Structure 1
Amino acid sequence: MTTPEWAPEHEATPELASALIGRRFPELRGAPVERLATGWDNTVFLVGGDWVFRFPRRRMAIGGVEREIAVLPVLAPRLPLPVPVPRFVGGPSDDFPWPFWGARRIPGRELADVRPPDGDRVVLAAETGAFLRALHDPALAREAGKGLPVDPMGRADPAERASRTHGRLDAIAARGVWERDPAVGEFLAAAQGWAAPGGEPVLVHGDLHVRHLLLTPGGRAAGVIDWGDVCLGAPAVDLSLAYAGFEGAAREAFLAEYGPVPGEQEAAARTLALNLSATLAEYAASTGREALLAETIAGIGRALS
């Protein structure tokens, strides 16, 4: 049996997290620790109701953890939405071989869990567009981007992303959770002939999708989390959310706040929107995450709308 890509190489338990945190940070010793979320690369714990700690699950996530620790304190005061700011930083030990960190909790629920109707996403989309306009400011890349890799995952390359998407779509079609759409196949076939957008790279979140945008109870933007893929890259790397998460009036509101998106950026963003939506749909179907599955299947349709 093939091991899933998201299987942990080393996973912290609440008991281990409590011991590590209490040993390093006396002010949190004895605070209750509960598992808050898991992803491909990190296990996340809520500590004392106020602090969120991220522990890597895979060795390949270590570089991202180190970049978060270095970059997020610089980004936070420059952005219009809250982002995590590491307050507690722990190094490797005999009990846990990798670095980990904790930040004050940003209250909110993942967009993928809330799943507001598309017509109720207009204000949220506008707030997200304004956030990305600030993040993609070239001056911010010059200030905070030193030492960051340039799109190491090739996410702005439509040909690369399109080639990676076919297998994901095959997997979810085989599971019976997605019905094949000829328009998607035609788009991906065309995308395999497109070049990556040119221009000076900006600072990008790197993995901005429907799990990483948090919402308030009223459906407004509460914050942006999980910055392990922060890097320099084409704006399209983050603009994929405009095409996977919003359509119609909501997308118009996003673009009104963000500004014009050149055709080559839009093409790359739509391709990545398909790729991320299909990848997350496969993950959701495999792990029983029904809300995420419904949101990402809808994202495949939005990407071409």
Structure 2
Amino acid sequence: MHADEVDIDAELVQRLVAGQFREWAGLTVTEIPSSGTVNAMYRLGDSLTVRLPRVPGGVDDIGKEATWLPRLAPLLPVEIPVPVALGEPADEYPWRWSVNRWIDGDLPVAGTTSTTLGTELGELVREFRKITLPDAPAAYRGGPLSEQDAGTRSALRQLVGWIDVEAAMAGWDAGLAAAPATGSVWLHADLMPSNLLVQGDRLLAVLDFATAGTGDPACDLIPAWNLLTGPARTAFRAAVDVDEDTWIRGRARALSMALIQLPYYRETNPGIAANAQYVIDQVVADVTGAPA
């Protein structure tokens, strides 16, 4: 997926674990199929996972999660992956890596209309906003929406002939025209379907806190367009209880992420590309008034 990506496989993970954590040396290592773009994930035995950065940009996230996940876990209404050990760089692998608890669950499917899931996602976002832990990092993509303008417009130019660029541009411009955030709150900042676990229509867990921190409350509204539709989106909005400007900024943030992802991952990550196309279709339908 990336020019600077390192090679990782199950055999490498087995050697790293055996070399640094002898108590787990005999456990089976199995790759976890994932559309994740920054980290490789492997299951270790029945109750653990191993998380290894693929690219230099993900290296600092390992230490960040080790610091913040234990503090955030008791404040959130669902499970999150708390690290149980940190691996160190080795001759075969250059960066820190983590061992975490395994959490059972299924990935939700984009297009869900479950009002239960919509409400529980909204309640999760509301609980994030209540967090007051000091010295919080800045959330990735959590600053003013205008910071995403150049990248978003560049992606739109690449997608001419592929999507309804005019409608997508209208959705983006509406976000820029909305009143900006008046304060920062704690955010997950990457509530993609691949970072959620469910059982049926109940929310069980939230994964991958590399982007977490404080920023624009609109950042955590993206599930409304990358996962939910119809009654579920309505239930989500009612549960998060945000004003119209924040809602429109949230739609623009979901759109910006999707527009940038689609041309970048179209050939290398079908899962991310498919979800990006879904988001664009949802936002275009919202902007034009067409059926989603």
- Say whether 1:149 aligns with 2:137: yes
How many residue pairs match? The answer is 284
Match of 1:303 among 280, 283, 291: 283
Aligned partner of 2:254: which letter?
A
Q: Summarize the Cα distance change of 1:95–1:232 in structure 2 as closer, same or farther, 3 Å threshold.
A: same
Distance, in Å, in 1 between the alignment partners of 2:257 and 2:24 is: 37
- Say whether 1:134 aligns with 2:127: yes
Q: Report 1:1-305 matches (<5 A).
A: 6-36=2-32, 37=34, 39-111=36-108, 114-115=109-110, 117-119=111-113, 121-137=114-130, 140=131, 142-143=132-133, 145-146=134-135, 148-151=136-139, 153-173=140-160, 178-192=162-176, 196-199=180-183, 201-216=184-199, 218-258=200-240, 260-287=241-268, 289=270, 292-303=272-283, 305=286
Q: Summarize the Cα distance change of 1:173–1:45 in structure 2 as closer, same or farther, 3 Å threshold.
A: farther
State the secondary structure of the residue aligned to 1:84.
coil
State the secondary structure of the residue aligned to 2:193.
coil
2:289 corresponds to: none
State the secondary structure of the residue aligned to 1:187.
helix
Deviation, 1:166, is 2.9
* 1:108-132: CA deviation from partner (whole Å, max 9, x where unpaired): 2333xx34x443x321111111111
State the secondary structure of the residue aligned to 1:54.
strand
Q: Summarize the Cα distance change of 1:171–1:47 in structure 2 as closer, same or farther, 3 Å threshold.
A: farther
Verify the 8 A CA contact 2:176 2:249 in the aligned structure 1: no
Q: Summarize the Cα distance change of 1:191–1:127 in structure 2 as closer, same or farther, 3 Å threshold.
A: closer
Gaps (5+ residues) in structure 2? Answer: 287-292
* 1:23-58: CA deviation from partner (whole Å, max 9, x where unpaired): 222221121112113522111111113211110111
Q: Summarize the Cα distance change of 1:105–1:50 in structure 2 as closer, same or farther, 3 Å threshold.
A: same
Distance, in Å, in 2 between the alignment partners of 1:256 and 1:188 is: 23
Distance, in Å, in 2 between the alignment partners of 1:30 and 1:8 is: 31
Distance, in Å, in 2 between the alignment partners of 1:250 and 1:223 is: 18
Gaps (5+ residues) in structure 1? Answer: none
State the secondary structure of the residue aligned to 1:232.
strand
Q: Summarize the Cα distance change of 1:126–1:100 in structure 2 as closer, same or farther, 3 Å threshold.
A: same
Distance, in Å, in 2 between the alignment partners of 1:288 and 1:94 is: 29
Verify the 8 A CA contact 1:159 1:194 in the aligned structure 2: no
Distance, in Å, in 1 between the alignment partners of 2:46 and 2:265 is: 27
State the secondary structure of the residue aligned to 1:286.
coil
Q: Summarize the Cα distance change of 1:118–1:150 in structure 2 as closer, same or farther, 3 Å threshold.
A: same
Deviation, 1:8, is 4.3
* 1:200-236: CA deviation from partner (whole Å, max 9, x where unpaired): x2221122222212222x2322211111111111211
Verify the 8 A CA contact 1:38 1:44 in the aligned structure 2: no
Identical columns (%): 27
TM-score, normalising length from structure 1? 0.83
Deviation, 1:97, is 1.9
Distance, in Å, in 1 between the alignment partners of 2:237 and 2:128 is: 15
Verify the 8 A CA contact 2:193 2:227 in the aligned structure 1: yes
Verify the 8 A CA contact 1:156 1:272 in the aligned structure 2: no
